[in-house]
Amino acid sequence: MARLQDKVIIITGAAQGMGETHARLCMAEGAKVVLTDINSDKGDALAKELGDSALFIKHDVTSEEDWTQVAKETQEKFGRIDVLVNNAGITTHKSILDTSVEAYRKILEINQVSVFLGMKAVIPTMKAAKQGSIINISSINGLVGGAIGYTDSKFAVRGMTKAAALECAPHGIRVNSIHPGVIATPMIMQGDTKDAVEAFAKTIPMRRVAQPEEVSGMVLFLASDDSSYSTGSEFVVDGGLTAQ
């Protein structure tokens, strides 16, 4: 039997990149997947490709109203919500002095506040069902320092995950965070960026960067019943980078 047979999973930022990879693996394991993204063209196309067990909803993850609608449409289409993957996010590489207040607030809204809104939207349904899994995608920059704004938001996701895990555990809801290192997404594996990534890979103990599917494998584990006693934990996928 497939590991996610008939589970209903919401994945944000699912139109492309790691979110798309998560969605494809979850569907291959029997799940019904709700893809949400701000990019409706790519989201619609992916949902059509994946078939009747997929639903695309255009979604601004910083909007509480949008989150309410996502939860409502998911239940209308599939009857319940078993898993939420808070995957949507943006990055930045600017210094403190080069970061405007507006830019700082934007990254916190998208990377941090969206996770709060997502959990708030699905927890009532999961509590009623006395089960559920929430998977928050953080970063190794939720464990060690990095660029301002991005690091702040990913540390916050790590802390929010633990707070939510303690609150939700009595209701059968598990909440965990995933902390990917450098991932070989199409966006970074091109041009000068690709050269920089390949050079950086030599500093990683495993001497390579991760493939998106390797992060998706962790999503699969946490979405499945295989992780039934895991909550409030950090799952690192970084080839040993933060162990140094």
Enumerate the active-site residues: 150
Distance CA(8)–CA(19), nearest Å, equals 15
DSSP code per residue over 158-218:
HHHHHHHHHHHGGGTEEEEEEEE--B--TTTSSHHHHHHHHHHHTTSTTSSPBPHHHHHHH
Beta strands in the chain (DSSP E): 8-12, 32-37, 54-58, 83-86, 132-137, 173-180, 234-237
Asked if residue 116 lies in contact with residue 137, where contact means CB atoms within 8 angstroms, the answer is: no
Backbone angles phi, psi at 166, to 5 degrees: -65, -40
Question: Comparing C-alpha atoms, which of 91, 5, 78, 1 is closest to residue 35?
Answer: 78
